[in-house]
Copies of this chain bind each other. A is one copy, B any other.
Amino acid sequence: MTTRTATKPRKLTPKGEQTRLRIVAAAAQLMLDRGVAGTTMEDVKAASGASSSQLYHYFADKQALIMDVIAYQDERVVGDQEPMLARLDTVDGLRAWCDFIVQHQRDLECRGGCPIGSLGSELAEVDPAARAAVSGSFLRWESGIRGGLRAMHERGELTADPEDLALTVLAALQGGLLLAQIHRDVRPLRVTLDAMIDHVQAHTTAAVPSSGRP
């Protein structure tokens, strides 16, 4: 098929693929900085160095670009965290993951919020396809968290239900990220993730009050 709107586009040349990715990466950054509605195709052109023809060569319309931005952020956020998610089978691994997220938000000065959650929140009621895509990304993220918790559970170290606990941890993370963004302060995120660590620890077989950490 020569149409591109509903099917996977025909295979691009390496140069074409590079241009397409440059456009998606630029759009992803702009949409994190200013939201989807606050990002125009003109902005994307300027940030990516592409022309209008290129934008509409690679993307049927703005909505198609948004879908690719969601997929891109899914890789950048969930995909990149997978090595750490694989280590959530220990409380120390959980703590390291939390520390990484808090530090990352500190580096960003709490701007943008969660790259996936913010997109989902903005688009959920106006773009069903986008909402479904973000839902898929959240399920992937939850699955990664659950994998580690389940391993703990299978070793007999975690007494709580890893299904529910993974969901709770992701929800707390999303809420902590939102509050940090709104208040421009990592404390809500830090405190919330620490509470999750405590909560997980409280449901391990070696449950003891967490001692002061250096």
**Which residues from chain A sit less than 8 Å from chain B, CB to CB?**
32-38, 111-113, 117-118, 120-126, 131, 134-135, 138-139, 164-165, 167-168, 170-176, 178-179, 181-184, 187-189, 191-192, 194-195, 198-199, 202
Contact = CB atoms under 8 A, between A and B. Distances in A.
A134 to B, nearest CB: 5
A182 B113 contact: no
A162 to B, nearest CB: 12
In this complex, the member of A33, A164, A182 whose beta carbon has the largest number of chain B beta carbons within 10 angstroms is A182
Contacts of A189: 171
Contact of A122 (B35, B168, B179): B35
A74 B62 CA distance: 33
Given A199-B195, A202-B202, A125 B175 contact: no
So how many copies of this chain end up in the complex?
2
A170 to B, nearest CB: 7
Given A35-B122, A121-B117, A179 B192 contact: no
A138 B183 contact: yes
A178 B33 CA distance: 20
Nearest to A39: B126
Given A175-B178, A179-B174, A182-B131, A34 B126 contact: yes
Given A35-B126, A122-B35, A124-B182, A188 B171 contact: yes
Contacts of A182: 120, 124, 131, 134-135, 138
